[in-house]
Amino acid sequence: MNSPVLKIKERLSIVDVISSYLKVENAGKNYKAKCPFHNEKTPSFFISPDRGTYYCFGCGAKGDIFSFVEHFEGTDFLGSLKILAERAGIELSNFQNKNKDKTDIYYEIMEEATIFYEKMFVKNKEARSYLLNRGVTDISISSFRIGYAEESWNGVLDHLINKGFKKEDIETVGLIKRKDNRFYDRFRGRIMFPINDSSGRVIAFSGRIFKKQDSSSSVEEAKYLNSPDTPLFNKSNVLFGLDKAKSSIRSRDYSIVVEGQMDLILSHQAGFTNTVAVSGTAFTDTTIDHEAKINNLGLVRRLSSNIIFAYDGDEAGIRAVSRSSTIALSLDMQVKIAVLPIGKDPADIILSDHNNWKEIIKNSINIISFHLDRICKSTNDIRIRGKKIREIIFPFLVMINSSIEKSGYINEIHFKTGIREEAIIEDYKNYEKITPSIINQDNLEKEKMDINSRRVDLEKRLFSIILWQGENEEQKKFINEIVELFKKDIGLPTYQNILDLYEPFSDKLVFEAEKWYSGKIDVLTKDMKEIILNLEEEILNEEAQSLMFSIKEKEQNNKKDDLQIDMIAYKKIVEKIEEIKNRRVQ
């Protein structure tokens, strides 16, 4: 067994893999959970250990352990392969991707660039000294693969060309720029922080200046320089450090979001390994982008709906945390704010005393209470307070789905401001009327089947059993016998047409059959006989009704020859219906 895919499937059961992401419960032979790919209150996500597959009855998501990790982690097949191989203890170094495409080459370029920057960092004592003085340890430098881009116009360019990569591909991944048909390095004289996807592959960089700039220079360089959007990197689809934080976010059931790389690295050093950073990335107000890829907050929400924003305590930080909180609330997340001293960032506080940071996280408050306290401190004038509540608080309040939560916040506003509760409610209702809702739901395609018709209900139940074929020889034999009788009664073309209609939904239907009939042959025998009798009667009644319309039309148009053919066909159908009724009585 040379295939790593087969080796992984042999070592990892689908129940073990999915239960490491979701809370699963036993459901007969199968397991069930709340689907992570759409919002639901009751479990409709079923897992089959025997087949190694899953199916969601709510949104139609289906697949095996690889597709689950791909979908959940927002990665591709090779990313899921890497994640699962590490978990299974399987070495992928000898794995050769026979279907290598441009994307694989881009990943190779980014990995080679990371190795190059790491080597340059080792040579640059000044860069290492800067990080050590900021409190970053050698262990973190190695773990986060921090590097250095030398002050050269073509350092990484020459290195990658010598490794056999093309300039156009190096430009595509954002490592070099072109001017007047000449290429040069995008990052120069900067400490390099690799940005990884959820599987740990490098997809972008954030480069930080750490030397004092030449005062004679007329151009002031940005403190941070980030990779542009590329085929590998979309600012909205990743957060810095998420690959290292995701396990801790799941286990602790909340995430901490900071602004900068230094904030994140020192947070991890202090034990807050459920921390991610927005540096070099961006939030959007949907969980899925135009390519149907999961966005960063969408992925964080799958890990935990509880989130704490810990941005700098200055006005710019408060504006940034307000924007991020609005988006998180629109995604139905529980949002809290870590209140930082003005002029301090998380890195400063952790470096001074990480126990102090622990208290700040512990005492974080919800976004509405945070802004409400600031409003109350800023003025005692009820009219000004009311105006600020409309401008600052209501935009958050309108994002909240729960009426109970809204009522609680309105009561808090009344209690803290002294404004009458009735006035707050009236103002809010007026605000709600003129403010369009921007709450977004997962943009997932749903496989829907018509459930309005009695015939469709019977077909779904019957063909779920047929496609399932039972779990033992006795069941299979019985199913095959009764299917042959069904084909004879309704005709092979009709049977095949119905089968063609339901085969695309086989995963869903098989799960339904297992759920209903696993280990229950007596119930299966009784139900299948009754289903077939009812379904045959429905089909024949529809045919009889259609023929009756045809007969009436031909009578009106005096088409005697055609009328005689229809009358014979109608008589045969009526006889079949009577036969079915007699069979039911027996």
Structure-block tokens of residue 325: 């909180």
Q: What tens digit of pLDDT does each residue of 18-56 get?
A: 998 888 888 878 888 888 887 777 788 889 888 888 888
Q: Closest Cα partner for 299 from 322, 319, 321, 276?
A: 276
Q: Which residues pair with 336 in a beta bridge?
A: 308, 366
Distance CA(189)–CA(150), nearest Å, equals 5
Of the listed ranges 225-229, 325-329, 360-364, 416-420, the least confidently predicted one is: 325-329
Contact 52, 88 (CB under 8 A): no
- The pLDDT of 387-408, averaged and rounded, is 88
What ranges do the domains of the chain cover? 4-88, 102-233, 242-434, 454-585
pTM over 0.75? The answer is no
Contact 79, 47 (CB under 8 A): no
What pLDDT is attached to residue 438?
42
What pLDDT is attached to residue 377?
92
Q: Closest Cα partner for 271 from 309, 296, 244?
A: 244
Q: What is the CATH number of domain 242-434?
A: 3.40.1360.10
In our burial notation (b when 16+ CB lie closer than 10 A, e otherwise), range 363-387 reads: ebebbbbbbbeebbeeeeeeeebbe
pLDDT at 111 over 80: yes
- The pLDDT of 231-247, averaged and rounded, is 88
Confidence of residue 143 (pLDDT cuts 50, 70, 90): very high
- The pLDDT of 472-484, averaged and rounded, is 80
CA distances from 416 to 92, 168, 371, 436 (A): 59, 60, 12, 28
Distance CA(305)–CA(105), nearest Å, equals 35
pLDDT at 436 over 60: no
Q: What is the CATH number of domain 4-88?
A: 3.90.580.10
Backbone angles phi, psi at 47, to 5 degrees: -120, 130
Q: Which residues are CB-contacts of 137 (< 8 A; sequence separation ≥ 6)?
A: 269
Contact 82, 97 (CB under 8 A): no
The listed range with the strongest mean pLDDT (55-59, 91-95, 262-266) is 262-266
User: What string of DSSP letters covers 149-172?
Assistant: E-S-SSHHHHHHHHTT--HHHHHH
Structure-block tokens of residue 380: 């005692």
Confidence of residue 301 (pLDDT cuts 50, 70, 90): confident
Helices marked H in 77-150 — which ranges? Answer: 77-88, 102-123, 125-133, 138-143
pLDDT at 560 over 80: no
Contact 124, 253 (CB under 8 A): no
What pLDDT is attached to residue 441?
39
Q: Mean pLDDT over all residues of the chain? A: 83
What pLDDT is attached to residue 491?
80
Of the listed ranges 156-170, 258-272, 328-342, 479-493, the least confidently predicted one is: 479-493
Q: Are strands 306-309 and 275-277 parallel, antiparallel or unpaired?
A: unpaired
What pLDDT is attached to residue 287?
53
Q: Which residues are CB-contacts of 284 (< 8 A; sequence separation ≥ 6)?
A: 236, 295, 297, 327
Per-residue DSSP letter, 273: T
Of the listed ranges 51-55, 127-131, 415-419, 517-521, the least confidently predicted one is: 517-521
524: left (phi over 0), alpha (psi -120 to 50) or beta: alpha
Q: Which residues are CB-contacts of 295 (< 8 A; sequence separation ≥ 6)?
A: 74, 236, 237, 283, 284, 286, 287, 288, 289
Tell me if residue 281 falls in helix, strand or coil.
Answer: coil
Distance CA(381)–CA(375), nearest Å, equals 10
What pLDDT is attached to residue 453?
55
Q: Which H, E and C letters describe 320-340, residue by residue?
A: HHHHHHHHHHHCCCEEEECCC
Say which CATH topology domain 102-233 has: DNA primase DNAg catalytic core, N-terminal domain (3.90.980)
pLDDT at 90 over 80: yes
Per-residue DSSP letter, 240: B
